[in-house]
Amino acid sequence: MTLDKIYKLKHELWLKILFSSFAIKNERIKSELYEFATMQYRHLKWMSNELKDTNTKYSYEKDDINIEKSTNFGYFQFIIDEIKIVMKHYDQSVMSARIISDEYYMIQRLNLLLADTQNDGEITAFNKERIYENKDLDKTSTDAFTIFLFEETYKEYELIFVYSYMQNYTDNIILYNVYQDLIDESQYHLKCFGNMLSKMGILAIPRMILEQIYKRDDIKKFLLDGVEEEKAAKEECIKLAAAVKDEELSQFFNFINFQENYHIELMQKAIKLL
């Protein structure tokens, strides 16, 4: 199988492991699965570097992914099976040897989790109850919160890969570092929103990123438009903080709002360099 096809499978595998970590309630297991997803993202980065070096086109195309499981054990076995499917397609390169070593370790850890029934647990990430922890939100607040989470989860997922693509094709070290900061911030936000979707019982994989969004020559215009989108996101955070009648959630939205300020600063820095 060609590397661009393996890249697609790895992208899907990253999503499967990442969103499994969101679905699981046990904080220790959730954290370990998230670290596995972080490793998978690092694999994707190495593969994209190799694809660029060999002048091979790649995309963020993905098939529909069903991650609904009813137990922790269901997720452990699911991830093991999915890793094994992708492992069949690696070549004999040094990069592949490292990836295989990482993934064998993941399988070993997951088998250890499966060996102890105390690691099992019920999954409520798909029950559609739309109740966030012990918060007593009214319907208006719940609806606003729901829309915000779906929109922002897709936005952060999209931005991770748009900036990853731009980072892979820049020779400017300052731009490279700016893109890395933006990727890191979006990964953190995606983690926050994904876990919130899970608690609300409405966890879902984001829709596919269209090729024309990240394969573009007008990067400066994309960033200029992005600044306006970040300003709009700030306004949404302010509105949501006011609409959600809960002090803890309001503080979280205000926190995200202030983080958007620095996103705008980073994007403006990139615009100046372009």
Q: What is the DSSP string of 44-64?
A: HHHHHHHHHHTT---------
pLDDT at 259: 85
Query: Residue 254: pLDDT above 90?
Result: no
Query: What is the identity of the amino acid at 274?
Result: L
This prediction has a pTM of 0.94
What does the DSSP 8-state code read for residue 244?
A: S
Burial of 5 (0-12, 13-18, 19+ CB in 10 A): exposed
CA distance 258 to 97: 42
Distances (CA, A) of 26 to 115, 118, 119, 123, 195: 16, 10, 8, 10, 12
Query: Residue 269: pLDDT above 80?
Result: yes
pLDDT in tens, 188-243: 999 999 999 999 999 999 999 999 989 887 888 888 888 888 888 778 788 887 77
pLDDT at 245: 74
What does the DSSP 8-state code read for residue 215?
A: S
Helix (H) or strand (E) holding 89: none
Dihedral, 114, 83, 14, 118 alpha carbons, nearest 10: 0
CA distance 11 to 43: 9
Q: Which of 230, 235, 237, 225 is nearest to 265 (CA)?
A: 230
Q: Is residue 181 a contact partner of residue 266, using CB atoms and an 8 Å limit?
A: yes
Query: Residue 55: pLDDT above 80?
Result: yes
Average pLDDT estimate for 174-196: 94
CA distance 251 to 228: 23
Query: Residue 183: pLDDT above 80?
Result: yes
